[in-house]
Amino acid sequence: VITEPLSWQRTSGGVTAPRGFLAAGVHCGIKQRKRDLALVVSECEATVAGVFTTNRIKAAPVLWCQEVVRRGVARAVVVNSGNANACTGERGLRDAREMAERTAQALGISPHQVLVASTGVIGVPLPMEALRRGIPLAARSLSRSGEEAAEAILTTDAFPKTSAVVTTVGGVQVTVGGMAKGAGMIHPRLATTLCFLTTDASVPAPVLQHALQRAVAESFNRITVDGDTSTNDTVLVLANGRAGAPPVEDERDLERFTEALTVVAQDLARMVVRDGEGAQRLVEVVVEGAADPRDAERAAFAVATSLLVKTMLHGGEPNWGRVVAAVGYSGAEVEERRVAVWFGDVQVVRGGVGVEGVFHQAAQALRQPEVRIRVDLGLGPGRARVWTCDLGEEYVRINGSYIT
Amino acid sequence: VITEPLSWQRTSGGVTAPRGFLAAGVHCGIKQRKRDLALVVSECEATVAGVFTTNRIKAAPVLWCQEVVRRGVARAVVVNSGNANACTGERGLRDAREMAERTAQALGISPHQVLVASTGVIGVPLPMEALRRGIPLAARSLSRSGEEAAEAILTTDAFPKTSAVVTTVGGVQVTVGGMAKGAGMIHPRLATTLCFLTTDASVPAPVLQHALQRAVAESFNRITVDGDTSTNDTVLVLANGRAGAPPVEDERDLERFTEALTVVAQDLARMVVRDGEGAQRLVEVVVEGAADPRDAERAAFAVATSLLVKTMLHGGEPNWGRVVAAVGYSGAEVEERRVAVWFGDVQVVRGGVGVEGVFHQAAQALRQPEVRIRVDLGLGPGRARVWTCDLGEEYVRINGSYIT
């Protein structure tokens, strides 16, 4: 997607970087002390698009959001952390609706224009008393800063994740901003990814949905395995048109806008990986030379999700056999004698066998904060890139005692 | 398969429990101090069957064994640990052949009747000097004890794995014995599973192959995910007929024999899981009420391989949402409101929502050395059972520094 790197520029801020958006992040009492309730509000009606978990078990707020996105118009997003409101039955659906209603009431808007998201423990009913107190407080705390909101959506994340870029549509500058919640996992297998994007561009809802799907395909779907998604995964974008640019319609504008949206989504997705629980390294896995793109993706995900590769990355040992073996079981077409592997710039496998005398260089390449594993299958034009991180003891400690 | 529990009985010993088998396990110098070379020999020609890794990248000894199994007759198995002889190119093929030839020479048999297996680090050429010294030593050390052989095939395993049962064929007592090498992994995703089975029953090679496939389907394929196999996975069985029983041919004898073979294979497979690196618990995951058996298997494997479920099992917290979510993304047909989950005997989910007031009981159930997670999807007759274990910090420590 990124074909014209000069068509956009990074800027500061997150969801409130685009004009006409306000945000707040407060503590309402779901968590003991940390902020646990975020609000993002557009000053006027915005078109909305969304991408949601493919899990057959969907949390109540996901079902609510899907209705709002179907209508295509929204004004606000209310998000709580500390509780996923998933596997909570009828009561969960009532609670999600009440979150929308209380937010609508506090803002003087329609509940049908309020998106709802939740993240945290599964199967425990929402403590609604806390939310009833917190929502009016959040509405009173709205400001042009997105910082508190970015904090309030976190669970086990080590740092808040925001990004924003400017681009032009019809010669007028527009801004795309966003914030995300780390999946709290090495890759978002089960723990929830939430991402909220905003823009002051004017984008018809169907166009916005199309652009969002392309952006997610190149970002959040590059750090997860198909189908391995939580009950709550949600990516939303609101476009309020406040930049005064003409609607994004012609192909050139659509490309530019999609590119900007993709950059923000990729920034956030990479931050999610970098913040994997206990992770020390951001790892890019590139597979080239596959028979086709689907094979490249299979092989890249097999490497990126292999526990043995991830623990190798943690320890920093260049045990490349684990990479070759993962490619071998990925389902991709593989001819052993054509396989080549690089750790950083160091070639460790040529013609399916190890390159001698590179152990220490290769180990060095693996011990950087950003690591690249490149595999060339030598068979065709298929190429794919995914991001992952190492798996450390810390991950086990965090997930071994999540509730208590 | 196990329909007549009284038709077989456990007995002591491993690969040498059946008549006419000898074994040895010695130190030849691939590892620093521990035994690293095993030999199993039949006193007469035996029929042979084998099941091998489905990885596209197959180690040299696997390719060699496939040839021997195709011919259906073998006399000996030579196994080294400490080096997988995988991703070693032409040299690896030559080395595997030389292992067979040197073994044949030491025993005075044909190299085409010698099976070869290797396990350990990938991509490093075999230290052939050590094997040239070790093979004659092993041949001189053959005895009626299988203990040293069971030790010599281990890598990161904490304990040797052997099992044996007796049954009858045509009214004559026959014995099935076996030894396995732990995959050194929570489930045999990549690290190698090796299993060597022996019997003094008389079984034509095609019948033996059929029986082995059924036994593996109910044992080693219940602890692994399809396609997630190492470059070296190998299960072999030799049948030498020394019990003097009639050949296994009619249906009743075949059932009894297959049952005995399955019991030994299941014993060994469960030991492999129990010995997962750093594992504290053996966990049986049962999915019932699936739309069909394939769905049941999908759901059971999704639960059994979820990192979040495995770390939950390590910590002992009854975070059942992770189980429900794994079922949700497994690809199996799921209706949230029909899902029920038990930890041990404690029902934690009914009608898709949590059962209240069972937290401490459920936590207790998870903290046993053997844990059962049962999921009822409430949709149909599909049922599947798989074995897994918990994921602890120890796993990461072991795999983070495997070479050094």
CA–CA separation, B401 and B404 (whole Å): 6
Angle (nearest 5°) at CA B142 between B138 and B144: 150
CA–CA separation, A66 and A100 (whole Å): 13
Residues of A in contact with B399 (CB under 8 A): 307-308, 311-312, 315
Q: What is the pLDDT of residue B398?
A: 63
The tens digit of pLDDT for each residue in A288-328 reads 999 999 999 999 999 998 878 888 888 888 989 989 999 99
Q: What is the pLDDT of residue B192?
A: 75
Higher pLDDT, A224 or B250: B250
> Nearest 5°: phi and psi at B18?
-70, 155
Residues of B in contact with A333 (CB under 8 A): 56
pTM confidence score: 0.81
Chain A, residues 300-359, CB within 8 A of chain B, namely: 306-308, 311-312, 314-315, 317, 319-322, 324-334, 336-337, 339, 349, 351-354
The tens digit of pLDDT for each residue in A264-277 reads 999 999 898 888 76
The tens digit of pLDDT for each residue in B58-109 reads 999 999 999 999 999 999 999 999 999 999 999 999 999 999 999 999 999 9
Q: What is the pLDDT of residue B399?
A: 60
Q: Which two tokens stand for residue B84?
A: 């997988």
Neighbours of B44 (CB within 10 A): 9
- In this complex, do B121 and A230 lie within 8 Å of one another by their Cβ atoms? no
Q: What is the pLDDT of residue B5?
A: 53
Residue of A190, A191, A401 with shortest CB distance to B326: A190
Q: What is the pLDDT of residue B364?
A: 94
Q: What is the pLDDT of residue B225?
A: 46
- In this complex, do B393 and A391 lie within 8 Å of one another by their Cβ atoms? no
Give the active site residue among B53, B192, B198, B199.
Answer: B192
Residues in chain B: 404
CA–CA separation, A177 and A273 (whole Å): 19
Q: How confident is the model at residue A54 (pLDDT cuts 50, 70, 90)?
A: confident
Interface test with B, best of A186, A310, A399 (most B CBs within 10 A): A399
How far B165 CA lies from chain A's nearest CA (Å)? 34
Angle between helices A293-305 and A307-315 (to 10 degrees): 60
- The widest CA-to-CA distance across chain B, in whole angstroms, is 70
Which residue from A269, A242, A75 is spatially nearest to A162, judged by alpha carbons?
A269
> Nearest 5°: phi and psi at A263?
-60, -45
Q: What is the pLDDT of residue A225?
A: 46
- In this complex, do B122 and A325 lie within 8 Å of one another by their Cβ atoms? yes
| Residue B388 contacts A, CB cutoff 8 Å | no
The tens digit of pLDDT for each residue in A189-212 reads 446 789 999 999 999 999 999 999
The tens digit of pLDDT for each residue in A5-42 reads 568 999 999 999 999 999 999 999 999 999 999 999 99
B360 CB contacts (<8 Å, ≥6 apart)? none
Higher pLDDT, A395 or A402: A395
Lowest mean pLDDT among A91-105, A107-121, B118-132, B297-311: B297-311
Give the active site residue among A192, A224, A231, A258.
Answer: A192
Residue of B57, B314, B399 with shortest CB distance to A336: B57
Does the interface predicted TM-score (ipTM) exceed 0.95? no
Residue of A319, A320, A402 with shortest CB distance to B402: A319
Angle between helices B307-315 and A393-400 (to 10 degrees): 70
Tell the residue number behind the tokens 């597979």, with chain if given. A287
Instruction: Specify the 3-state DSSP secondary structure of B221.
Output: helix
- In this complex, do A121 and B321 lie within 8 Å of one another by their Cβ atoms? yes
- In this complex, do B336 and A308 lie within 8 Å of one another by their Cβ atoms? no
Angle (nearest 5°) at CA B193 between A340 and B149: 120
- In this complex, do A123 and B354 lie within 8 Å of one another by their Cβ atoms? yes
Q: What is chain A's mean pLDDT, rounded?
A: 91
Q: What is the pLDDT of residue A382?
A: 96
Higher pLDDT, A132 or A226: A132
Residue of A56, A314, A336 with shortest CB distance to B328: A56
Q: Is A311 in the active site? A: no
| Residue B293 contacts A, CB cutoff 8 Å | no
Q: What is the DSSP letter of B192?
A: P
CA–CA separation, B115 and B135 (whole Å): 13
From first to last of the 404 residues of chain B, give the pLDDT tens digit: 445 556 899 999 999 999 999 999 999 999 999 999 999 999 999 999 999 988 889 999 999 999 999 999 999 999 999 999 999 999 999 999 999 999 999 999 999 999 999 998 888 999 999 999 999 999 999 999 999 999 999 988 889 999 999 999 999 999 999 999 976 554 444 467 899 999 999 999 999 999 999 999 989 888 864 445 688 999 999 999 999 999 999 999 999 999 999 999 999 998 988 887 667 788 999 999 999 999 999 999 999 988 778 888 888 889 898 899 999 989 999 999 999 999 999 999 999 999 999 999 999 999 888 999 999 999 999 999 999 888 776 666 666 655 44
Residues of chain A with pLDDT > 90, as a percent, come to: 74
User: Residue A63 pLDDT > 60, yes or no?
Assistant: yes
Residues of B in contact with A315 (CB under 8 A): 399-402
Q: What is the pLDDT of residue B316?
A: 83
- In this complex, do B399 and A308 lie within 8 Å of one another by their Cβ atoms? yes
Q: Which residues of B257-280 are buried (b: 16+ CB within 10 A; e: fewer)?
A: bbbbbbbbbbbbbbbbbbbbbbbb
CA–CA separation, B290 and B239 (whole Å): 38
Neighbours of A172 (CB within 10 A): 13
